Structure 1
Amino acid sequence: MKFRTIKILVLSGAIAMGTGACKKVLEPELEYAIESSRLKTIEDFERVLNGAYAYMRSTGYYGFGYSNGADINTDNMLETTASLGNNRPLSQWYYTIGSGVVERVWNAPYQAINQANAVLDNLGNLQEKVAGQKNRIKGQALAIRALGHFDLMRFFAVNYDRNGTGFGVALKLKSEVSFPPRNTVKECFDQIYQDLTEAEQLLQETDVAVNTGSRRIRMDVHAVRALRARVSLYTQQWEDARDYADKVITQSGINLGSIASGVAVTSTAINNTTTFQSVWFNDLNSIAETIFAVAVNVGQGSPGFFPSDGMNAFTVSQDWRSLFGTSPTNDVRYNVTYNPSASPATASYLKFTGRFTGTALPRDGNVDVKVFRIAEMYLIRAEANFRLGNANTARADIRLIRQNRITGYNPVSDVIPDVLEAIQVERRKELVGEGHRWFDAKRYGLGFNRGASPGSGDCPSTAPDCELPAGDKRFVFPIPQGEIQANPAMKDQQNPGW
């Protein structure tokens, strides 16, 4: 064929249902085809990028699979009586190579990657009128591709070894239809780092700012650096993780959300745009915390597992709540996440709903899906410093986070004897529902135990297993059956045990 045809997604507010009967989330639905040779203007390429960002909202990606979906299968979450069971294969660990959730979390990042590749493949056609336009477009496309490949690695790679020779995922570097085999873990990380290095260089010299205003819904240079810090944390490149987290902390101008208006979730605290509460209940105006978020606009639903009647299919577990000790409401993270006065099935889980009273339905579209926050950068810097032998420097970052989260906190008396354990606990408190716990357990070599038997502790009565041992094959998702059948190159490349 003389020309390839690519699909550009046009954001129109079109809505498709998410997981089963759960509350609606945006799916990229309306699209039209255009010959790649006709992509010439900056507006053409921006529309293609919009499509890539739209794919991030899909159920298989940050609309569920890579956000809440990577928490409901851990010790952070508990299924409620309002659940219709749609997500049990994931939350109760009985997914198979034919499970829909496995297929969705495999396909969705590739859709975003393919859209980014469409930009990169045709960028030579761009009639640049202002210096820096091409940098702005290409830098974002490379960043999206790096994020997509890394996210796929998190679920499907056999390990996160920087030089690993085992199976990673199939690198997709062109927008044409192809059936590549899986690359090695090392090859995948080589490409991810290459894309991030180039993206960082390009996004430092753009015609205009990638993000304008307080809403950071495109990948700018700070998002690229945050992603690199996270990648290096997973691959145990400690100096790189420390340095890139530090770059974000010191150069982005983004601050930790404060408790300047107290730790309770009140109208005063929400309307103070520098507070932690504003991040979750007023994030269209909040100037705190967020480095990059996937946009959720009015009418596009809430990310995750909220049934259409506004009840919670999942809430935070007893195990998670126990992390806060005997005075949990002294910590703003507890208060923005959980309402203890509501029944678990009605309105106890608050994070991402946009509601704070625990009585009304979620305020549709008020909460973007946070992909990178500044608090994570402090925790990455703390862990990297600890691994490098700088325990006291790590303690300082832990204390700073706690000082911005806990009322009456005294950093002088907080000795933090076990630094790594403290980091792991802070990651659970801070990042619950944001899609970290599953991958943290995998990289730390931890398992989960929800209770002695089904119906006890945090173990649902419907669960076939209450325990997922460390190193279990289920920590590495299987390659979907449909992919294996359609791609001969992957015929003998299934993950171990599947």
Structure 2
Amino acid sequence: MKKNILLHIAAITTLGISSCSKQLDEVAPDTRISYAQLNKNNLPLVVNGAKLALTNNNAFYTYYALQDIMGDDFQSISLTAYESNNIPSNDVTLPPTYRQPYQCIANTNMVIQFAGQYPGDSTISTTLGEAYLLRAYSYMLLTESFGDVVIIKGSEDPKSRPARNPVTEVNQFIESDFKNAADHLPDYTGPQSGSKQAAQLLLARLYLNLGRNDEALTMANTVISSGKFNLQGSFTDIFKSQVNSSEAIYKITEASTSTYYGLPNIYGPGTVNGVNMPGSGNTWADSNLVKSYEPADVRRSTFLRTKGGSIADSVYFLLKFPQEMTPSYVVCRYSEALLITAEANARKGTVDVSNYNLLRAARKATTANNTDFASPAAFLAAIEQERRREFIGERLRWSDMRRFGKADAWLLSFGQPVTHALMPLPSREFFINPNLAQNADYGK
């Protein structure tokens, strides 16, 4: 394929082309630049463009939240198709979930192809590493939502209409990319840039979801033993775009046009007692989960109990995501490494509360002894609940429900088939690529 345009939408499905200007970190620039104009100096801007591709037109917060709405942490009367786990393929919120990660992949493919001309060049190693990291994360977003997806490496004929790759194959591709990222990236210096530890922790997450507990344990312990991270007193600082909290390992920041975009727009209560706040007030947290926080737990203060939207009764709204012009989305953070080690050990038959206690102590919650749990299964139940308290709203609950065996019963309680653990592919994609097959129990 001729590499004549830098930024293009290489999604099988979306074979359109976006041009690129001298501002290489723009998503929809106005002046075209050829692949030949790429050089080692402007390559990092293409990686910035890849990040922006994930968030273009304030898209990230909308599809970032969808899987949490599908699970048991939230109720919503705005996103009813996701709340009921019966998503029509023509749902208007669905296309960005599919399109935006592929736009990011298109940019990262260009970086990876360009770097292939300079094997072993240390001057572009960090840029290459972050390209691998972003490509792997984008495919992780896709497979978690849709299962089988098409692997695009950037060298395909743009007129081709490939079929979807099996999820097992895609996961192998993700694993390889995360390993390549870890090999090329430096140690952590801040959450705004990719690091070796970010790649290792996301790899640990992948291994945990695949049931490869030994490897998940190894990767998570590698992150912990790096000595780069600490649990801090200010929980809400983790989510602020301008604060380099040592708990946040990797963030993607969304350039917005208003403080009313971002996750607060999904989870906020709207106007409360005359105070103008973001949100519609139509998506709120599970009350039993909120009540499971101990009174002194610092995470409990990130909820507001009030009326909102069309809700007649007072409910709990999640406020842990700050109202900012440049909202940040924490892709992975240190507490996940701690809970992965606890869970992986428990799944291997060992109750070890040490890292579980480190987290709970930092959050001002009571700690436990190994003997407080009658079995590894009992400890796993406590870990699952702790993950809910720690990561609510951070796009981890639906994968957790599937891993802990809760998703099938949840879907059946809505009268939906268990195959609805996956979303449908957007209907428009079948007009572009007739070789795509829809996920089971959905119509095109």
Listed one character per residue, the Cα deviations across residues 332-375 of structure 1 (whole Å, up to 9, x for unaligned) are: 11212x023x4344995343542xxxxxxx3443x411110111
Cα distance change on mapping 1:89 and 1:59 into 2, 3 Å: farther
The one of 385, 389, 397 equivalent to 2:349 is 389
Listed one character per residue, the Cα deviations across residues 379-429 of structure 1 (whole Å, up to 9, x for unaligned) are: 1111111111222x2x2222221111125x244598244111011101110
Whole-Å separation in 2 of the counterparts to 1:331 and 1:173: 46
* One-letter amino acid of the counterpart of residue 299, structure 2: R
* One-letter amino acid of the counterpart of residue 243, structure 1: T
Whole-Å separation in 2 of the counterparts to 1:40 and 1:402: 48
Unaligned runs of 5+ in 2: 8-18, 271-275
Matched, 1:497 2:441: yes
Shift of 1:279: 2.0
Task: Give 1 or 2: higher helix fraction.
Answer: 2
Whole-Å separation in 2 of the counterparts to 1:107 and 1:294: 17
TM-score by length of structure 2 reads 0.82
* One-letter amino acid of the counterpart of residue 425, structure 2: I
Whole-Å separation in 2 of the counterparts to 1:413 and 1:382: 11
The one of 174, 190, 200 equivalent to 2:182 is 200
Instruction: Tell me which residue corresponds to 1:19.
Output: none
User: Percent identity over the alignment?
Assistant: 23
* One-letter amino acid of the counterpart of residue 5, structure 1: I
TM-score by length of structure 1 reads 0.74
Instruction: Tell me which residue corresponds to 2:307.
Output: 343
Whole-Å separation in 2 of the counterparts to 1:255 and 1:315: 30
Q: Is the 8 A contact 1:10 1:47 kept in 2?
A: no
Cα distance change on mapping 1:471 and 1:49 into 2, 3 Å: same
Q: Give 1:10-409 correspondences, 5 Å limit.
A: 28-30=27-29, 32-43=31-42, 45-58=43-56, 62-66=60-64, 68-79=65-76, 85=78, 87-124=79-116, 132-157=122-147, 168-174=148-154, 177=158, 178-204=160-186, 214=190, 216-251=191-226, 253-258=228-233, 275-280=234-239, 282=240, 284-296=242-254, 299=257, 301=259, 302-304=261-263, 305=266, 306=268, 310-311=278-279, 312-324=281-293, 328-336=294-302, 338-340=303-305, 342-345=306-309, 349-354=317-322, 362-365=323-326, 367-391=327-351, 393=352, 395-407=353-365, 409=366
* One-letter amino acid of the counterpart of residue 228, structure 1: L
* One-letter amino acid of the counterpart of residue 294, structure 1: I
Q: Is the 8 A contact 2:425 2:439 kept in 1?
A: yes
Whole-Å separation in 2 of the counterparts to 1:473 and 1:224: 30
Shift of 1:138: 1.3
- CA RMSD in angstroms, aligned pairs only: 3.2
SS at match of 2:441: coil
Q: Is the 8 A contact 2:63 2:94 kept in 1?
A: no
Whole-Å separation in 1 of the counterparts to 2:110 and 2:124: 14
Of stretches 480-489 and 370-379 in structure 1, the one that deviates more from structure 2 is 480-489
Shift of 1:110: 0.8
SS at match of 1:369: strand
Whole-Å separation in 2 of the counterparts to 1:428 and 1:390: 21
Unaligned runs of 5+ in 1: 15-26, 158-167, 259-274, 355-361, 451-464
Whole-Å separation in 1 of the counterparts to 2:3 and 2:101: 25
* One-letter amino acid of the counterpart of residue 71, structure 2: T
Whole-Å separation in 1 of the counterparts to 2:22 and 2:247: 26
Q: Is the 8 A contact 2:20 2:33 kept in 1?
A: no
Cα distance change on mapping 1:141 and 1:118 into 2, 3 Å: same
* One-letter amino acid of the counterpart of residue 494, structure 1: Q
Whole-Å separation in 2 of the counterparts to 1:313 and 1:436: 21
Of stretches 183-192 and 414-423 in structure 1, the one that deviates more from structure 2 is 414-423
Listed one character per residue, the Cα deviations across residues 74-105 of structure 1 (whole Å, up to 9, x for unaligned) are: 221133xxx6x3x3222333311222233221
Cα distance change on mapping 1:90 and 1:183 into 2, 3 Å: same
Length, aligned pairs only: 410
